Amino acid sequence: MSFMYDALYRYYSSAGPHPTLMAGDLLFEKHPKGLVLRGEPTAQFVSPPVYLHGAWHLYEALQESGELTPELSLPELPSIGHDLYALLKEWTNMRLPNWRELLPREVVDQI
- Give me the pLDDT at residue 25, please: 72
Successive 10-residue mean pLDDT values, the chain, 111 residues: 64 68 74 82 66 86 84 88 88 75 70 66
Cβ atoms of 52 and 60 within 8 Å: the answer is: no
Cβ atoms of 47 and 39 within 8 Å: the answer is: no
Measured CA to CA, the distance from residue 91 to residue 98 in angstroms comes to 12
